[in-house]
């Protein structure tokens, strides 16, 4: 899997077009965490629910996996690659790093 830092993800999202749509932002935290803060456009799918939801995801679409600090997301990203997903990225540092580096107005916990 590839790693993206928050600035790289912000640039990727800024440069999205109809021809090059943004990646799926897959937030694997728990609901209570997602309610505190999340990156706009993220889809919440708690880590424990990912195996049962694989058929809802597109294996050829780029997916950026997100959690609080990047640990759970790295595990889920590795799992998705093992399941045949071809363009998987882990957000290094998670939403915590996103709040520090890209969106200082975002709530943190």
Show which residues are catalytic. 67
Strand 63-66 relative to strand 43-44, pairing: unpaired
Sheet holding 24-27, edge to edge: 2-4, 88-91, 63-66, 24-27, 43-44
Asked if 61 and 23 count as a contact pair (C-beta separation under 8 A), the reply is yes
User: CA 38 to CA 58: how far, in whole Å?
Assistant: 22
User: CA 99 to CA 76: how far, in whole Å?
Assistant: 21
């Amino acid at each position: 899997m590839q790693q993206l830092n928050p600035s790289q993800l912000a640039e990727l999202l800024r440069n999205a077009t109809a021809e090059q749509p943004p990646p799926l932002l897959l937030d694997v935290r728990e609901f209570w965490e997602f309610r505190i803060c999340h990156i706009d456009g993220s889809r919440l799918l708690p880590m424990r629910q990912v195996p049962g939801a694989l058929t809802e995801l597109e294996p050829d679409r780029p997916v950026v996996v997100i959690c609080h600090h990047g640990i759970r997301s790295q595990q889920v990203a590795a799992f998705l690659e093992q399941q045949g997903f071809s363009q998987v990225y882990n957000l290094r540092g998670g939403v915590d790093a996103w709040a520090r580096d890209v969106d200082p107005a975002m709530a943190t916990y």
